[in-house]
């Protein structure tokens, strides 16, 4: 951490500090959305439906590997930011070294467990006879590359936790750009298939991980990749996993809930599934921007929690205003041009109408979901492991009973509105917990909830 990063942690005006931490994260997450679309595009040029199916089926596996990286990365990152606020710089080195090597170890465990069970994993992902071979190829590469993928997501978090938000963003964008270039080479030059595309993902993560490791070794004053600083003490394990485990659980739950939601939609025809697929892809842009905002300020909140709680209060207050402003701007845009947005993907009038309906309803919860993400980030930053775990579970399981009841009571419309209702329940739970914990976090937080 250099003097500039320390300035943004301690003395910069709140708006500038939030922008310093959040804007790079918002840009980085937006790039990942663009990549997900382009990745499907490159494979789509081969006009092989089984390959595209394999790409879609392996998303849950990639989500699990990414969640493992966030388990170590978010847990270590928030702990590092709090330690920096307490000026315990040697402890920061111990935690960063632990994060680096434990990520590699976790990835090796994935290989050891996954490869002998690969056929079962492919069947479990839903591969048919036509897509089984391509799916197995993709899964094999992703399992073999899991130490690198886990390491990438870990390092992105802990570099940002130190205050090097721009460096974190550069690594994320570097990964996306390298991936896109390699995808183009694999498909158009070497005439490869899913093995090449999967390998491109692993290699791009490797390039970004090397970039982060170089920063930690040569540019950072406190982060390190040296094994001599590695420690796995009870204090480190406790602080990392009490925040990291809820993050992991939430990622797994949200992936499962997406599958369940699609199961309910299937009863109302393929068009309803297609309409939701289009609208949810469009919704990713504002969702990821708000997620980038809320996750970006976590290091600033964590640092201020141990160094200056009044600054933490002002940071949270400003972030809430930013969420409101962004939600309003995106909402107005959607309500004015929703038909045109859906029309970019299809010319079917019924599909455009149904997709616009999805957009109108789901955008109502944009502010709510943004606030829920902020609540979770506050609990993570302030080491409230139980509250973070409750938020993870609530966000994961609320949708199931809401879907069931809403579907029975109001059919298709109930299924669509269940997303907003489930988000509202999670928001209320988060707000109540923040109110209950207000004195533990900071007495002045009374004015925020």
In angstroms, rounded to a whole number, what is the distance separating the alpha carbons of residues 43 and 74? 32
Tell me phi and psi for residue 427, to 5 degrees.
-60, -45
According to the model, what pLDDT value does residue 366 have? Answer: 85
Sequence-separated (6 or more) residues with CB below 8 Å from residue 201: 62, 142, 145, 149, 179
- The string of DSSP codes covering 121-147 is HHHHTT--TTTHHHHHHHHHHHHHTHH
Closest CA to 370 of 303, 402, 322, 435: 322
Determine the length of the chain: 449
In angstroms, rounded to a whole number, what is the distance separating the alpha carbons of residues 395 and 425? 8
Fill in the DSSP letter of residue 447: G
According to the model, what pLDDT value does residue 276 have? Answer: 75
- The string of DSSP codes covering 318-386 is HHHHHHHHHHHHHHHHHHHHHHHHHHTT---HHHHHHHHHHHHHHGGGHHHHHHHHHHHHHHHHTT-HH
Instruction: Please list the pLDDT of the chain residue by residue as tens digits (449 residues).
Output: 556 667 788 888 999 989 888 888 888 777 777 776 677 677 767 777 677 677 767 777 887 888 899 899 988 998 998 999 888 999 999 999 999 999 999 999 999 999 999 999 888 877 778 778 888 998 999 999 999 999 999 999 899 888 888 898 899 889 989 998 998 898 888 888 888 988 999 999 999 999 999 999 999 888 999 999 998 899 999 999 988 888 788 777 766 776 677 678 777 876 777 777 677 767 778 888 888 898 889 888 988 888 888 889 899 999 999 999 999 998 888 888 888 877 776 677 887 888 888 888 888 888 898 999 899 889 988 888 888 888 878 876 888 888 889 888 888 889 889 888 988 998 999 999 988 887 776 644 444 44
According to the model, what pLDDT value does residue 447 have? Answer: 45
Q: Is 434:378 a contact under the CB 8 Å cutoff?
A: yes
According to the model, what pLDDT value does residue 448 have? Answer: 43
**How far is the CA of 47 from the CAs of 41, 137, 325, in angstroms?**
10, 18, 42
Closest CA to 134 of 63, 64, 57: 57
3-state secondary structure of 245: helix
Tell me phi and psi for residue 366, to 5 degrees.
-60, -45
Q: Output the CA torsion sign for 158, 439, 292, 256.
A: positive
According to the model, what pLDDT value does residue 390 have? Answer: 86
């Amino acid at each position: 951490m250099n003097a500039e990063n320390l300035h943004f942690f301690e003395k910069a005006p709140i708006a500038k500090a939030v922008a310093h931490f959040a804007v790079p994260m918002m840009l980085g997450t937006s790039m990942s959305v663009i990549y997900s679309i382009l990745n499907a595009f490159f494979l789509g040029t081969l006009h092989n439906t089984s390959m595209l199916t394999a790409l879609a089926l392996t998303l849950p596996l990639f989500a699990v590997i990414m969640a493992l990286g966030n388990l170590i990365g978010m847990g270590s990152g928030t702990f590092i930011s709090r330690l920096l606020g307490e000026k315990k710089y040697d402890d920061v080195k111990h935690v960063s070294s632990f994060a680096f090597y434990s990520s590699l170890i976790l990835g090796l465990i994935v290989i050891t467990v996954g490869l002998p069970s690969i056929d079962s994993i492919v069947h479990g992902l839903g591969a048919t006879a036509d897509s089984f071979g391509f799916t197995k190829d993709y899964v094999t590469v992703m399992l073999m590359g899991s130490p690198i993928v886990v390491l990438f997501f870990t390092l992105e978090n802990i570099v940002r936790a130190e205050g090097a938000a721009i460096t974190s963003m550069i690594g994320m964008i570097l990964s996306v750009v390298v991936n896109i270039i390699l995808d183009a080479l694999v498909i158009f030059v070497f005439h490869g298939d899913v093995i090449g595309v999967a390998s491109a993902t692993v290699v791009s993560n490797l390039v970004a991980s090397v970039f982060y490791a170089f920063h930690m070794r040569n540019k950072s004053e406190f982060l390190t990749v040296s094994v001599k600083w590695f420690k796995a003490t009870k204090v480190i394990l406790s602080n990392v996993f009490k925040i990291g485990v809820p993050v992991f659980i939430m990622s797994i739950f949200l992936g499962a809930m997406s599958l369940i939601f699609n199961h309910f939609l299937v009863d109302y025809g393929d068009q309803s599934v297609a309409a939701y697929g289009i609208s949810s892809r469009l919704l990713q842009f504002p969702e990821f921007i708000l997620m980038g905002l809320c996750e970006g300020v976590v290091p600033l909140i964590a640092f201020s929690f141990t160094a200056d709680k009044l600054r933490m209060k002002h940071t949270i207050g400003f972030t809430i205003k930013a969420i409101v402003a962004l939600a309003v701007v995106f909402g107005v845009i959607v309500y004015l041009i929703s038909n045109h947005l859906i029309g970019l993907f299809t010319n079917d009038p019924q599909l455009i109408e149904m997709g616009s309906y999805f957009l109108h309803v789901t955008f109502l919860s944009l502010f709510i979901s943004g606030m829920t993400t902020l609540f979770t980030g506050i609990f993570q930053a302030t080491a409230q492991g139980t509250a973070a775990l409750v938020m993870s579970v609530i966000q994961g399981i609320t949708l199931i009973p809401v879907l069931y009841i809403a579907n029975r009571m109001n059919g298709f419309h109930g299924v669509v509105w269940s997303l907003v209702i489930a988000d509202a329940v999670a928001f209320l739970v988060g707000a109540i917990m923040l109110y209950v914990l207000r004195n533990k976090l900071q007495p002045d937080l009374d004015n925020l909830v």
